[in-house]
Amino acid sequence: MREYFCDDLLPLSSSRPAPEPYDNCPATTDIRHGSFKAIGHVAAFDQSFTQYTRQRVPPGHSCCYGWCARVVVADPSLASPAACADANGMRESFCMRELEGGTSRPSSAPFERCPDALKPPEVLSFSAPASAQLDVSQTAQRRRDMQLADCCYGWCSIAPSGTVLKSSQPKTR
């Protein structure tokens, strides 16, 4: 999958600039921390994501970079929806860009570029399960809201015993 980061702290010029009108952006940079294990060490300037970001976040000075990362496609039967019914069940979700090259385990149309299940990234979850299924309704909503071809996954983690979850706190006046 492709991961991105955008930077607003830019030099006034670059010895190796991106194409105009983005020539104040360096053409490449080091990969920043992503959700999945990066393939390679260099992030390349991404003109389309830069344009998208500049339109959504005024004043529009961001430079965005992308790189490829390895995603672990999982067996959907290994997902554990029962964790959501547990008193210490904590709903978590993760959205990522759809896989450009497709997947060996596609979801149903119109999300066939999304794996039907994957191993969520350890760095972004309380407790990443072996498998999290595609959340079709969240995926559809995010695509409408963000106009990005994203795939969203949901699961429940079990909070350690003694953890007070927000929904279980007593109501006070």
pLDDT tens by residue, 21-35: 888 899 999 998 888
107 and 59 part of one domain: no
End position of a domain, from candidates 70, 89, 114: 70
Residue 59: cis peptide before it, omega within 30 degrees of 0: yes
- Asked if residues 31 and 61 have their Cβ atoms less than 8 Å apart, the reply is no
pLDDT, position 171? 47
> Following DSSP, what letter does each residue of the chain receive, concatenated?
-EEEEEE----S--SSBPSTT-TTSBSEEE----SSEESSSEEEE-HHHHHHHHHHSTT---EEEEEEEE--B--GGG--GGGGGSTTEEEEEEEEEPPTT--SSB-STT-TTSBSEE---GGG-SS--S-EEE-HHHHHHHHHHH-S-EEEEEEEEEPPTT---GGGSPP--
Q: pLDDT confidence of 166, banded at 50, 70, 90?
A: low
Whether residue 172 lies inside any domain: the answer is: no
End position of a domain, from candidates 44, 70, 96: 70
24 and 59 part of one domain: yes
56 and 124 part of one domain: no
The mean pLDDT value for 74-97 works out to 86
Whether residue 136 lies inside any domain: the answer is: yes
pLDDT at residue 56 greater than cutoff 80: yes
End position of a domain, from candidates 53, 70, 87: 70
**Would you give the distance in Å from CA 138 to the centre of its chain?**
13
- Give me the domain span that covers residue 90: 76-158
pLDDT, position 107? 94
Count of domains for the chain: 2
